[in-house]
Amino acid sequence: QYKDAALAAPNAGDLVLALRIAAASLGKAAENQPYIEVAWTYPGQSRSGLRTTGGVVREMIDASLRSILVVGYAVTVDSQFARLASQTIAAMSRAAERGVAVTVVLHRLANRNAITRAWRAGVPRPDFYTWPPDNEDGMTSIHAKLLVVDRRDALVTSANLTRHGFEKNLEMGVRVTGAP
């Protein structure tokens, strides 16, 4: 096909121009497509080619410029604030310190307390929202796990913001980066 195109072109300059236009068009189309990747939590050693949930989440938070939205069911922190879930909350706190607006939607008030325990002193707290208890059905809950950064980078995952969700369970999520 390239040989036919080369023979059909009036001259080499026209062929070069057509190829440059085609390459630029392809590049522009690729820029507008979302980038999609998988994030995993799995017990044991890291595996080549797999991105961890905790690593992806902290990468997203560290790159935030304007806003972070966290939706989750369970949040826990360890007493030393050394595990991955605690490190993630510390990353959110650093983002807030940079002026990023942090909004957190959680299942219950206890989850809010876990975040505030790990939050840096003097840093503006997130805007918190919790699911109201349903007196008729005690099982009703926010069960979604979602992180959206700057309205252009989103992770939908099964992992809670807990040690098990980030280190021990087998969890999976999909990250989509690009224009809404």
Q: What is the pLDDT of residues 5-37, one digit of tens each?
A: 656 667 777 777 777 887 887 777 767 788 899
| Mean pLDDT for all residues in the chain | 88
Q: What is the mean pLDDT of residues 96-115?
A: 93
Q: What is the C-alpha to C-alpha distance for residues 117 and 119, in angstroms, rounded to an integer?
A: 6
| Residues recorded for the chain | 180
Contacts of 11 (CB under 8 A, 6+ apart): none
Provide the Cα torsion 49, 52, 58, 60; round to 10°. Answer: 60
Q: What is the C-alpha to C-alpha distance for residues 105 and 113, in angstroms, rounded to an integer?
A: 13
Evaluate whether 160 touches 54 at the Cβ level (below 8 Å): no
Supply the pLDDT for residue 65. 98
Q: Which residue has the higher pLDDT, 101 or 14?
A: 101
User: Which class for 21: exposed (0-12), middle (13-18), buried (19 or more C-beta within 10 A)?
Assistant: exposed
C-alpha distance from residue 144 to each of 21, 27, 160 (Å):
44, 35, 9
Q: Which residue has the higher pLDDT, 170 or 8?
A: 170
Q: Which residue has the higher pLDDT, 173 or 107?
A: 173
Q: Which residue has the higher pLDDT, 153 or 17?
A: 153
Contacts of 51 (CB under 8 A, 6+ apart): 37, 38, 39, 40
Supply the pLDDT for residue 148. 98
Supply the pLDDT for residue 12. 73
Residue 122 confidence class, pLDDT cut points 50, 70, 90: very high
Evaluate whether 71 touches 146 at the Cβ level (below 8 Å): yes
Q: Which residue has the higher pLDDT, 7 or 53?
A: 53
Supply the pLDDT for residue 3. 60
pLDDT exceeds 60 at position 1: no
DSSP state of 161: B
